[in-house]
Every structure is written in C-alpha cells, then in structure tokens.
Structure 1
Amino acid sequence: MHLRKGTAALWLSFNYWWGRRSLQSRLIAAYIIIILGPCLMVSIYSYRALNNTYVRDAVERNDYLLQMERLHILNQIEVMERAAQMAYSDKEVQAYLTNENEPQLEELVNFNTNTNVNISRIQFNNPNIEHLRLYSASENLHEIWPIIFREERVAAEAWYQAALKLEGQESWSFHESDPELMERFSGQIPKQTPKVSLLREISIPAGHHVGMVQVDMLLERFTPKTYTDVRDSQSQMFLMDPQQRLFTRLDHSFLEGNGGMADAISQRLNTYKNTGEWNMHYSENGESYLFIQTPLERIGGFLLNVVSMEGVMKDISHTRNRIIAAFVLFIILVSVIAYVMNAFILKNLRRLTEAMKKVRRGEAYTGITIRGGGEVGELAHHFSKLMNTINTLVAQAVNKQALSKEAELRTLHNQIDAHFLYNTLENIKMLAEIENQRAISDALTSLGGMMRYNFKWSGEYVKLGDEIRHIENYVEVMNIRFEHPIMLELAVEKAYLELEVLKMSLQPIVENSVKHAWTGLEEDVQERMIRIQVSEAAGEIFIAIRDNGIGMTPERLAALHGAVYAKEETEAGFQEADGGRKSGGIGLRNVHQRMQLFYGEEYGLEIGSEAGAWTTVFMTLPKVLLTGDQRR
C-alpha cells in the first residue's frame, strides 16, 4: 500500500514537473525517446550479434589450432608405430630375444656391431623418439644398453602388465616422469618429464610370449603446443589420457587459479562419451572460458584447448563502446537538428506567447501578424479576434462606469431633493402640532418614515422588522382615506424580526390587498383586517399575508396565477368587473421574480383565495439572519 502511494506521488510529481517544461523541451524529449527506442533495440541486437561473432571467431580460430595439433600428434603416433614395427619385425632381433642358450662372444660382437647399430639408427632417424627399448623374457639374455633389457626390470609395472593383457595389440600409456632403467635401483629420482609410451607384446610363435617392444616420446615433442615455451595467457592446451589425467604445462596454467576446472573438464568428457553432447562454455572466479576438444581415438585420449574469453570480452567491450559512442553522437546530432527545426517552427508560437504576456502585464495590444497557416496562424487569428472583443468590452465597461458615475451624481442630487422634502414635511408637522392637529402630525410622521425607507436603498436585503415598520407606516397613511380603518394584525415572534427579506417584498402584497380586497363592499358592513403570520419548517421561512376581503372566484384566481407565474411578461391579467382597471398581478409578479432571482427557483409566492371570504399570499424564503449589515 505504501509502495503504491509512493509510486502515485512520484508519478504526480513527475507529471507536475513535465507539465512545466516548455513545448520545445517536450518535443526534443519526445524525439529522443522515439529515436532511443529503436537505437536500443538495434544496439542490443548488434551487441548480441557481435558477441556471437566474436565467440564464433574465437572458437573457429582455436579449433583450427587444435586440429593442427591433432594432425601433429597423429604424425607422431605414426612415427612411434613405424619405429616399433621396424624393431619388432627384424629377424635377428627376434632370434636374439628368443635365444635360451648362452650366446658366444662372436655372436654378441656381430649382433652388437650390425643389428644393434641398425636398431639405434631407427631412433637416430626419428629424433623425437626418446627411447626405443626391447624387453626379453629369456633369463640368459645379455642386456645391451640402452636398447635391450631383461623383462624382469619392468615386469612388475602396472603399464607393463596392462600391455601384456592386450596380447599383441598396441598399448598406450602416459607417465608423469621418465625413469632411467640403467640406474633404476640406485635411488636416483626420475626426471619429471612427462612422456607417452607405445608398448606391444612380442609373441613368437603366436601365443608364445617372448618379450615387449617399447617406444617412448616426451610429451613436449608429442604435443608441442601443450608444453610450448611461448606463454599465451589467452589459451592453453591439455592432453587427457584414457584414465582422464590431464597433462599440460605447469607454469602459468589455468588450473592454478581455478580449482574446479579439472573436475569440470572430466565431467564434461564423461557426458560427451555417454551422450555425445559437449558444453564448451565455462565460468569460474568471474572469468569465462571456452572448452574446445577433439578426440584422439588411436590412443584413447582427448586433446583440449581451453580459451580465456578475457581478450575476446575486451574486444567486444571496445567494439560495444564504439557502437554506443556512435549512437550517442547520432542522438546528439538528431537532437541538435530537431532543436534548430523546432526553434524555427515554434518561432511564431513564441511571438504569440510574448504578445500574450504583454497583454497580461497590462500593456496595450497593438496586434500581431503571423504569416502562413497552420494551427499557430489560426491561434493568432483567434487571439486577435479575442483581443478586439475584449477591447470592445473594456470600452463598454468604461462607458458603463461613466454612466454609473453620472447616475451616482443624479442620486446625490435626488438625495439633496429628498432632504429638502424631509425638511418641508418636518416644518408642516410642526405647524400641525402647533395647531393641535395630532392626526395630521401622525400621518406626516408615517409618510416621512415611508419616504426615508424608500429613498434609503443601501442594499437588496433588509430585516423583516424594518419591512413590517414600513408596512405599518403605509397602513397608517392609507387609513386617512377610509372611514373604517384597516387593522394590521402581526403574528410574528420577536426572533423572526431579524430574518432577511428582500426590500419592498411585503409592501406590494399589502398594497395589493388595500387596493382590491374590499372593492365593491359597503364600507360599514365588516371590519377590515390584514394579518401577517411568520412560521418556520425544515429550515425555510413561510410568511402568510391574509386579508378578509371579497376574495376571488376560481376563474379570476387562475387568471392571476397566469399573470404572476408567466415566463414572459405579457398584458395578461384580469379586469375588474366595474371598469376594466388592471388588477395587482404586475406587482405580485415582480415580487415573485425577484425572490426567484435572489433565492432560487424553488422559492417565491403562492396565492390562495375563496370568493366572498379571504385571499392569502404565501411567501417562501430561506432562513437567513441579518446582524447589522452582515448576513449569516
């Protein structure tokens, strides 16, 4: 959950930062992203192809060296087999080895002078052969060093016994050292010179053991690249015998720092023998190697070339860096070109932006000319149209402000006239009191209050108590006309006197009752009563203004509803029965529309009436208290 919130916050932060970048910056970033995607894919594909190519080249190159060394080994095998065959097939050698009698001195001299020299010439003609030895089972044999020996010298050796078991077939054995047979029992330490030996049993006649022929060759001559003195840190050849012993150079060997390499080679050779599958890739200590092998069927061993990938990886890394550098330069070049082109394309947009900034700072707009079409040209055209419209509206506003100032001056002038009228009324009131005309004095007081209430228009809203005082003054003034006065009954709790109402919203309703409620009645037949009642329900205020006049028929009430609630102002209404004078529908309509304008369409007036009995106007408005001049 926290991770999701953190990710969302990070994304919002990035969107905010990205949204504040300029259009040109975002376009350049978009170009780079569009180019970077294919470049990355091409880079990955190129790197893989390059890696495969370098590995394939390394395999082919080292496999070629391995095959050349294999050919050399096969040649050496031929040399050793030919030498063994020449020594084995010599009749005089066979006769000497099978002789069970004590040879005469003359025979020994002749054999040593002729036959032994010929055998020595075999080794001389093949300098890579280290030893050519013949072993005899005869107890009376005279040894002729370093070629002819009694079998008893080596009969106990494991390699010798293994050769005997092959019964005349070739036996190949590998040795870590080359012991000297002439000093075998003198305690001399054998030279640590690895060698390979070819052994073949001598049977004359077939099935009758006579002895053994042995041809030795040092491994440094048998496989010179395995024991080369040229130190190559990138590759190393190994020779593995049938017992899976590894023979190679000891100094600067890969085996020194990689303890698991020998076991890995042995395991992979076993897998190759069983399944024919060979895995050439190997890694240890953070280094990668290739195992390239070829079998040596004639001796039952394998020739292996271990190649270090360090140099190859350096070449790959160098080439990869050049490719990356080329891509980076390409992206930079494309970005520069895109920046220049965007700067040229967005030049008009920047001009338009500067013009907008000047207008925002309040400077006068003098117009902007952008040639060419496109979105920027269309935007500039509409901006010019907009500014012309704004200038027109500003001119109209200035004109209205001037008219408002003029109206204020007129209002001030009217206020001066009103003060003159107030002072005049006060003077008349003082004369009435001097003449002891209390009724006239009270009427003038009420009329002055009405005039002050009407002229003092500081806002649309007043307290309900102020509006009721105005109605009281109005009723007192109107009662001067009637023989039977109108009684005003107030059913208003004191708390409701602080309610907010629209100014001059109740007075037109009361005036409508005064003018029309008792028309046509005998003035002495009933008491005239107007009752104002305030109630509250569900957070709304209901004001009922009821008279006990003649009421209205359903037809006349429907006509009045049509006049009050009509969407458009018309001449609709209803005529009085005695002469065609319009009813109070216009005043009620104005109050209803003002309430809907200031409070909302759900508020307004509702009218009810019963012919010959009463008429009630219901006013619905929200409950808002006024404290001083503040609404709450």
Structure 2
Amino acid sequence: MDLELGKRTAGLWDSFTYWFGRRSLQSRLIAAYIFIILGPCLMVSFYSYGAINNTYVSDAIDKNSYLLQMEKLYINNQIESMERAVQMAYEDKEVREYLAYTKEPDLSELVEFNTDVFINMTRIQYNNPNLEHLRLYSNSNVHEIWPIFFREVRVSTEPWYQKALKLKGQLSWSFLNNDTELMNRFAGQTPKLVPKVSLLREMSVPTNNHIGMVQVDMLLERFTPKTYTTVQDSQSQMFLVDEEMQLFTRPDHSFLQENGEMAVAIADRLEAYRKTGNWDINYTENGKSFLLINTPLDRINAYLLNVVSMEGVMKDISHTRNLIIGVNIGFIILVTAIAYVLNAFILKNLRVLTETMKKVRRGEAYTAITVRGGGEVGELAHHFSKLMNTINTLVAQAVYKQALSKEAELRTLHNQIDAHFLYNTLENIKMLAEMEDQRTISDALTSLGGMMRYNFKWSGEYVKLRDEIRHIENYIEVMNIRFEHPIVLMLNIEHSYAELEVLKMSLQPIVENSVKHAWYGEQEEAENRTIHIDVSEGDGDIFIAIRDNGSGLTTDRLLTLHEALYAKEEVSEFASEPGDHTRRAGGIGLRNVHQRLQLFYGEEYGLEVQSSIGRGTTVFMTLPKVLLTGDKQL
C-alpha cells in the first residue's frame, strides 16, 4: 500500500513538473514570486494568529480568574459571618443551660429566658441580615421557642444532622437543595426549593454529654451571589461544588441545559484534581469549547468553578483570522500585478530573441537581431549572432568534410582488402610450416596473426582486460623467437577482473618497454627472465602492476624518466644515459600511455614507475573499476 502510494505521488509530481516546465518564463517567474512571498506571509500569519489566539485565551482566563477570586473573597466573608454567629450561640452559658434542662422549667424561668436570652439570639440574626436561620436543637423535652429553639427529634433523622453529630463539636458544613419547614404548620407542605448552606456544631455539657446542636443557615443566592445571579450571561457561569460533588448553580440560562455531560465531566475532573492536584482547564462538548477555571474553598471543603464559554472569544479570533487572510490575499494580488507588469517589460527583448530563434528553426534565413539595452538578454543575443555565424561556417566546412569522408571510406575498404590479403598469406605460410613440421614457426605465425587482427580491428578505444592480455601473450610468443631462453609471462589476475575495461594498446607498450630495455648486454640471453602482471583493487579503483626482474634504473635515470613522463610539453625522445647507446628507457611510449589514461579517465589516473639497480622495474597503472558495458562498480 505504501509502495503504491509512493508511486502515485511520484507520478503526480512528475506530471506537475512537466506541466510547470512547459509554462512561459513570465508565468514561472510570477509563480516563483508568489511562492517566495507566500511562504514568509504564511509563517508570519500563523505566528500572529497563534499569538493573538493565545492573547485572547489568556485575557479570558485572567478576567474570569479575577472574578472567581473576587467571589471567593466574598464567600470567605460569609463563612466568617456564619462561624461568628455559631460561636456566639455556642458560647452563651444560658443557652447551654436551657438546652440541658432535664425537667420542665417554670413560667418565670421561661419569661426571663424569653426576655433576655431569646432576644440576644434574635439580635445575632438581625445583625447578620444575610443569615436565613439561627436554630438551636435540644435533645430534651424543653419548650420550643419558634423560630430559634426546637426539639432535636424534628431533624434527628436527617443525614446532614447525623454527619454533624459524628464530628463531636467540630464545625460541619452541609449544602442542601431545599429549606425544610420545621414547624409543620401545614399538613403535606412541600419544602421550599431554595438551595442553602448550613453550618452546624454539636453542644455538649460536659464533654461528650450531648445536649443539643446549633445551626446557622444562609441561602446560596446570598452566600455566593454570582453563582445565582439573575443577570443573563451566556459567556460564563459559576458553580459551587461540595465535598459530595453536588453542583449548585443558577437554574436559568445554564450551560447544563444544552450540555448534558458537563456535570459529570466537572465531577470527574474535581475527583482527579483532589487525588493528583492536576487540573485540565479545557473542555469541549457539542462542538463548543469551554474553559473550566477552578479554585478550592478549603474552609468549607468545597470548590468554586467558573465555566467560560469560548464562543465569543472564538468569534473575535475568527474575525482577526479572516482579516489576516484578507490582507495576505490583497498583498499577493498587488505583488502579482506589479510583477506581471515588470516582467512583461523586462522579458520583452527575450521574446524578440525567442521569435528569431523560432524562425531559424523553421529554416528561414537568419537576419541580424537587434536588442536594445545590455544585461543577460543582450549578451545572449550577441552570442546567438556569433553562434549563427559559426554555424554557417561549419555548414560550409561540413560540405568539404563530407567529400573527404567519402574518400576515407574508399581508403578504408582498400585497407580491409589489404588486411585480408595479408591474413590469407599468413595462413598459407602457416600451413606450409605445419607441412614441414615446423611447429615453432607455425605457432609464431599464429601469434603474429592474432596481433595483426588485434591491431587492425580498431572498433573503439576500450577493450576487455582479457583481450589486452591475450594480445600481450601473442606479442611475447612472437618476441621469444629471437631468444634462446624465452621470456616468461606470469599472470596474477583473478577471473572476475577479466571483464574490466581498459584502453586498447595501453598495457602492450609497457610490456614492450620491458622486453626491449629490462635486459641488455649479457643479460639479453640470461635464464629466468620474467614479466609479472598483477591486478588488485582498492577504494573503487583498479591497480595493474607490470614488473620485470631486469637490471633496473639508477636514481638519476629514474628521475629523468619521471620528468619525461609527467612533462606538460611533449619531448622528442627520452635520452639515454651518457655512454650507453644500446639501450633506451622507452619514455615516449610510457608518456603516451600516461596521457591517454588521463585524457580518458581524469587527472587522478595514470602511470607511476618504480625502479632500483638490480631489482628490476615496476610500472603501476591506476584506472577506475568499470565494466566494458560502462557501468561503474562501486
């Protein structure tokens, strides 16, 4: 699947490059301008959009976090007010005594209690107008004084009351969804669906001797007014969440009405926050984004949460994005128009040159082209005129060369006839030698015929290494007719190197140089005369070493040979050592091979000669590893 996708992508890219390459230069230049400008514009736009987006979101978080902290400060004030009211009732000695009565108080005690203590309790509530109820519960059968003193049996079964009893004198906070009517003045009365918060504390005299309970209530709309605000706000909504993960918020225009999973999500995140301390501020439901900003209310073991809708913020961001896109499009259109006009003016001379070239291609006679102005187009027009003049000259020369070519073909045919005549003559002489049982002469004629075929058959500059080696073997066999003790050719060539590409007649001159100059004087008929040819490989190149066991060269003669071999200008002949007129070092032949190698393969290839007196001479040839097919082996 991935391979098919890659092929399809490559095909589409090739189609696009072909189509784009056929467009006019002006169109491609304009496309290049747009691409060059579009890239930075997109980068700047994306960066600006990201920065603006982060700024809007950061401002929304900061603004609503500030509102949340202000509401938290207000709630803390209400908490202190409720705690102060509980503390005042809890520490009143006469209240404790009344709640601890085990017998029915007489009338005078009730009147005195009602005149003093009850008035004081009522004053606590009046001094704190946000308090909804101040209630004291007794576990005895004392008289109830509504709406403050009640018997405990009225609320003893309530879960929030049982929770306060278990705390044994510690403060207990409870959040309720309704305000129960304790006096039961009407049968079947439904409790008011008014959420409230209650603060309770058990009273005991002495310690662990339960006598009653003090309770202070406050409606949540007074406890946290922003949570229950009546102002219609579609951008944010506050929630109060108690330790049991109950959510308290305004019933109207609530986010919970359109987002049914939000309540569960808030509870789950608060549970996770309680365990790990990590809070995820982002929330998405029904394609809408919200920010959940949270702050704990440690004193009441609850949380205050501000849910902020990002719809308005996203509208502002979208407007800014559209503005950026519009500015970019307008800028690109303006640049494109300016580039089109300028390119049309700049490329006018180029179009004139193009039309002239088209006329020449159609075979029309070339007339001089006039291009005003300089620059690259003017220079191109000048060189085009020069080119056309050169072409006209070459056409005239081609006609002359065509005649010479015909003559050369006739000469080639004639030479082929002469070569075939010579081959046939050698074959006839070979047959006569065999008939006279002259095997040596017959073998020499066979080798000579192979050499002549190799020389005359010049089909190209490159041959296989095995063909060049076979030619050298023929040459050695022919030359050994002269010597009583033949020269032995030793080959150390792996079979895999037989197909290597070498220049034709590149090894034979080196071997011929050894045959002619390696042994001289008394050594010309010496035994054990050998020529070694070794082939090795390294770093992708081929190294061919041709080594003889002849007399070798002195240091001065080797230096002179190197100067002739690597000379920039051609020398007439490599001079022999003074006093030695019988031997030459073959410098011209080596130089020709060296120059051919560098001409066909490069300056890094060629010959290197090493020699010393009494140790023979070695010629190293370096050439690239290439098969005759032309594929370079890496």
So what's the TM-score if we normalise by structure 1?
0.61
Matched to 1:301, the amino acid is A
Corresponding residue for 2:47? 45
Q: Which deviates more, 327-336 or 372-381?
A: 327-336
Corresponding residue for 2:136? 134
Corresponding residue for 2:167? 166
**Contact 1:168/1:202 (<8 A) preserved:** yes
**Contact 1:131/1:217 (<8 A) preserved:** yes
Distance 1:104 1:601 in 2: 159
Q: Which deviates more, 287-296 or 99-108?
A: 99-108
> Cα offset for 1:134?
1.2
Distance 1:268 1:283 in 2: 13
Alignment of 1:286-301 (within 5 A): 286-301=287-302
Corresponding residue for 1:341? 342
Corresponding residue for 1:281? 282
**Contact 1:197/1:214 (<8 A) preserved:** yes
Matched to 1:23, the amino acid is L
Please give the per-residue CA displacement for 1:439-462, whole angstroms capped at 9, x wherever unaligned: xxxxxxxxxxxxxxxxxxxxxxxx
Change (3 A) 1:4 1:217: closer
Distance 1:392 1:137 in 2: 131
Please give the per-residue CA displacement for 1:299-321, whole angstroms capped at 9, x wherever unaligned: 11111111222222222222122
Change (3 A) 1:216 1:601: farther
Distance 1:344 1:602 in 2: 64
SS in 2 for 1:226: coil
Corresponding residue for 1:154? 155
| % identical equivalent positions | 68
Q: Is 1:324 equivalent to 2:328 in the alignment?
A: no
Q: 1:122 aligns with which of 121, 124, 142?
A: 124
Corresponding residue for 1:34? 36
Q: 1:74 aligns with which of 49, 72, 76?
A: 76
**Contact 1:200/1:214 (<8 A) preserved:** yes
Please give the per-residue CA displacement for 1:585-621, whole angstroms capped at 9, x wherever unaligned: xxxx97x843858xx99789744698xx9xxxxxxxx
Distance 1:209 1:354 in 2: 114
**Contact 1:132/1:147 (<8 A) preserved:** yes
> Cα offset for 1:115?
2.9
Please give the per-residue CA displacement for 1:261-304, whole angstroms capped at 9, x wherever unaligned: 22222222222222211111222222222211111111111111
Q: Is 1:109 equivalent to 2:111 in the alignment?
A: yes
Distance 1:218 1:594 in 2: 124
Change (3 A) 1:207 1:7: closer
**Contact 1:595/1:603 (<8 A) preserved:** no
Change (3 A) 1:80 1:604: farther
> Cα offset for 1:71?
0.7
Corresponding residue for 1:201? 202
Please give the per-residue CA displacement for 1:460-480, whole angstroms capped at 9, x wherever unaligned: xxxxxxxxxxxxxxxxxxxxx
Distance 2:297 2:185 in 1: 32
Distance 1:284 1:223 in 2: 27
Distance 2:330 2:281 in 1: 38
Structure 2: gaps (5+ residues): 429-634
Q: Is 1:594 equivalent to 2:595 in the alignment?
A: no
Alignment of 1:405-554 (within 5 A): none
> Cα offset for 1:74?
0.5
Matched to 2:60, the amino acid is A
**Contact 1:293/1:303 (<8 A) preserved:** yes
Matched to 1:33, the amino acid is F
Change (3 A) 1:150 1:362: same
Distance 1:335 1:604 in 2: 74
Distance 1:39 1:10 in 2: 27
Matched to 1:234, the amino acid is Q
Corresponding residue for 2:630? none
Corresponding residue for 1:350? 351
**Contact 1:371/1:377 (<8 A) preserved:** yes
Corresponding residue for 2:585? none
> Cα offset for 1:99?
3.0
Structure 1: gaps (5+ residues): 401-567, 570-588, 614-632
> Cα offset for 1:322?
1.6
> Cα offset for 1:114?
3.6
**Contact 1:296/1:303 (<8 A) preserved:** yes
Corresponding residue for 2:499? none
Distance 2:274 2:386 in 1: 89
Corresponding residue for 2:560? none
> Cα offset for 1:365?
5.3
Distance 1:88 1:135 in 2: 12
* Bigger Rg, structure 1 or 2: 1
Distance 1:87 1:50 in 2: 56
Matched to 1:10, the amino acid is L
Matched to 1:51, the amino acid is N
Corresponding residue for 1:83? 85
> Cα offset for 1:219?
0.8
> Cα offset for 1:94?
2.9
Please give the per-residue CA displacement for 1:35-82, whole angstroms capped at 9, x wherever unaligned: 222222333333333322222222111111111111111111111111
Corresponding residue for 2:96? 94
Q: Which deviates more, 368-377 or 229-238?
A: 368-377
Distance 2:6 2:324 in 1: 38
Corresponding residue for 2:472? none
Matched to 1:119, the amino acid is M
SS in 2 for 1:183: coil
**Contact 1:204/1:210 (<8 A) preserved:** yes
SS in 2 for 1:189: coil
Matched to 1:594, the amino acid is L
SS in 2 for 1:233: coil
Change (3 A) 1:350 1:174: same
Please give the per-residue CA displacement for 1:540-596, whole angstroms capped at 9, x wherever unaligned: xxxxxxxxxxxxxxxxxxxxxxxxxxxx99xxxxxxxxxxxxxxxxxxx97x84385
Distance 2:143 2:33 in 1: 95
Distance 2:229 2:365 in 1: 92
Corresponding residue for 1:555? none
Distance 2:216 2:157 in 1: 18
> Cα offset for 1:146?
0.9
Matched to 2:254, the amino acid is S
**Contact 1:595/1:604 (<8 A) preserved:** no
Corresponding residue for 1:176? 177
Change (3 A) 1:4 1:77: closer
Corresponding residue for 1:439? none
Change (3 A) 1:601 1:101: farther
Matched to 2:122, the amino acid is S
**Contact 1:596/1:604 (<8 A) preserved:** no
Change (3 A) 1:151 1:3: closer
Change (3 A) 1:305 1:366: same
> Cα offset for 1:259?
3.0
Alignment of 1:329-408 (within 5 A): 329-357=330-358, 367-388=368-389
Matched to 1:298, the amino acid is R
Matched to 2:230, the amino acid is D
Matched to 2:137, the amino acid is Y
Change (3 A) 1:21 1:146: same
Distance 1:202 1:273 in 2: 32
Change (3 A) 1:391 1:195: same
